[in-house]
Amino acid sequence: MRVLLTLAALLLATPAFAAPTAAQKDEFYAVCMGIAQNQTLCSCKADAAMTLIDERFMGVVIASMKGTASPAAGDYDAYNTYVAKSNQVCKPDY
């Protein structure tokens, strides 16, 4: 019983990260197409983003792609990791 209560407390204390929204995926794709004009790449990157990052971080990525904001210092390593992972998925020979 004590273990179950402890587990329940941990689950409640752990923040839940929301997946990116469909609107964010559409915006990501549109911005990507404006940059790369490559439907295959942009579709793959948009799909990959839905599984690699959360809703908040999708905003960071989109802003960076638009050139309106650079990732904050606290997001820089995560941003580079995201780019590397999405390139592994979508540009395996990169």
Q: What angle do CA 44, 15, 48 make, to 5 degrees?
A: 5
The pTM assigned to this predicted structure is 0.80
> Is residue 75's pLDDT more than 90?
yes
CB 65 within 8 A of CB 32: yes
**Where are the chain's structural domains?**
17-90
> pLDDT value at position 46?
98
What pLDDT band is residue 82 in, cutting at 50, 70 and 90? very high
Residue 1: what pLDDT?
55
What mean pLDDT comes out for the span 12-20? Answer: 66
Question: In the predicted model, is pLDDT for residue 81 greater than 90?
Answer: yes
pLDDT digit string, tens, across residues 29-71: 999 999 999 999 999 999 999 999 999 999 999 999 999 999 9
Q: Please state, in angstroms and rounded to a whole number, the distance separating the CA atoms of residues 12 and 24.
A: 27
